[in-house]
Homo-oligomer: A and B are copies of this chain.
Amino acid sequence: MENKQNIFSKIENRTITVGIIGLGYVGLPLAVAFALERVKVIGFDMSDEKVTSVNNARNYIADVQNADLQKVVNGAYLKATDNFSELKHCDAVIICVPTPLDRFKKPDMAHIENACVAIGRNMKPGTFVSLESTTYPTTTEDFVLPILERESGLQQGVDFWLAFSPERVDPGNRHFHTRNTPKVLGALTPDGLKIGKAVYEICIDKVYMVSSPRVAEMVKILENTYRLVNISLINEMALLCGKMDINIWEVIDAAKTKPYGFQAFYPGPGIGGHCIPLDPFYLEYIAKKFNFDLSMIHTAGHIDMMMPHRMTIKITSALNRHKKAVNGSRILFLGIAYKPDIDDSRESPALRMIDEVAAKGGNVLYHDPFIKQATTPQGIQMKSVELNEAELANADCVVITTNHTLFDADFILQHSALIVDLKDLIKEASGKVYKL
């Protein structure tokens, strides 16, 4: 009871110290959001580079405002460290580490495990712990809880509280950011739920409580499985429309006039980013433990897995009409970011296409105004070329893989000999443009 009153009073008078583990695209915006409310925040990261950047108020996350970071660092509300023993100063600890999949789509829990061990060994009694990393349902109860109790010797619900609250960061979203995106929260015990709500409400407008961590875990998976399945559906329909001489983008725009029961998704070369290509496969992983086969996710994953290959066939077919082979052709990719107007190429389908085209002997180049250099999954190191008349004219085929707002469709159309447009950038009908 003393612990509980203690944390509530610290929240109320803003003397709470919040620890954020992982200072990436989730953790840093959250740390800044707390610190802007004049709460002391300690950011933990094993990367010297990130720790040094934060402590020097050098911003590296596009969704964070430079001025905000400077304000909270200079005001001593936010500091970063790689010394996890400082967790003992924290009243609330929020885990924002990545949960990658390995090449066999098995969840890699090492980052969560390391964070939990560090918390368990260092936290003081009365700490609220929240996991934000997307993971399979039951992780908080069956994976995190045992580590915390074992390493700390403390008991959940008595000496500390554990919750799950999925991050909903949408990089580049101009309308929804940390404060105004409702936050789902599920805790192991009622006290943990109340404390977690009070902690998050320091910097988030609306906290939506659910009955358990596993419900909260499933919420995030459902949100992104919905997106995976619908993008895969529209990609498959786009491939059929290509064969049937139907413009899929025209179909989608017309379907959008239905005033109920429809949400538009747009096709492209595949699914990228840190969430949609990963999250559903956490669920597929844990489903097997329940002897359950998630056929929709499996089918969607299969469609997505095949997209770079199918798109490479589009390039092959386009070049073929010019009596050219991929082997020896100069192929310029426009855009390697996984969505428009961001600087992130994680899981980018363009990079997977580049690997496949390069493996067939294509002479590959790329231009992306936001990403100056990149390494493909197969390890090809590349630098962005300039987007100019000569580069366009020299390419045997120009492939549009991201529809950055900066791209000038008329300029690209005018100076290219052959275009494979996978993002409906070129609206004008032209014999030299091949659409998805």
Contact = CB atoms under 8 A, between A and B. Distances in A.
Interface of A: 137-138, 168, 170, 173, 175-176, 180-182, 184, 206, 208, 210-212, 214-216, 218-219, 222-223, 225-227, 229-230, 232-233, 236-237, 239-241, 243-247, 250-252, 254-255, 257-263, 283, 286-287, 290-292, 294-296, 298-300, 302-303
Given A173-B260, A211-B250, A230 B226 contact: yes
22 contacts: A168-B258, A175-B260, A211-B247, A215-B246, A215-B250, A216-B254, A218-B241, A219-B251, A219-B255, A222-B255, A226-B262, A229-B233, A229-B296, A230-B230, A233-B296, A239-B292, A240-B294, A243-B292, A295-B299, A295-B302, A296-B296, A296-B300
Contacts of A215: 246-247, 250-251, 254
A208 B259 CA distance: 13
4 nearest A-B pairs in the assembled complex, by CB-CB distance = A182-B257, A299-B299, A243-B290, A263-B263
A66 to B, nearest CB: 25
A229 B235 CA distance: 14
A82 to B, nearest CB: 33
A68 to B, nearest CB: 22
Most buried by B among A138, A223, A251, A291: A251
A247 B218 CA distance: 10
A306 to B, nearest CB: 10
Given A222-B252, A237-B294, 10 more contacts: A168-B258, A173-B260, A175-B260, A176-B259, A180-B259, A225-B237, A226-B255, A227-B261, A236-B294, A295-B302
A377 to B, nearest CB: 24
A136 to B, nearest CB: 10
Nearest to A241: B218
B227 A229 contact: no
Contacts of A290: 240, 243-244
Contacts of A257: 182, 184, 206, 208
Contacts of A180: 259
Contacts of A184: 254-255, 257
B296 A240 contact: no
Most buried by B among A170, A236, A254, A294: A254
A258 to B, nearest CB: 6
A181 B259 contact: yes
A246 B181 contact: no
Given A246-B218, A260-B173, A303 B296 contact: yes
B244 A222 contact: no
Contacts of A296: 229, 232-233, 236, 296, 299-300, 303
A72 B170 CA distance: 53
Contact of A137 (B181, B246, B302): B246
A208 B257 CA distance: 8
A334 to B, nearest CB: 25
A180 B210 CA distance: 38
Contacts of A262: 223, 226
A206 B257 CA distance: 9
A173 B259 CA distance: 11
Most buried by B among A210, A216, A218, A294: A218
A286 B246 CA distance: 13
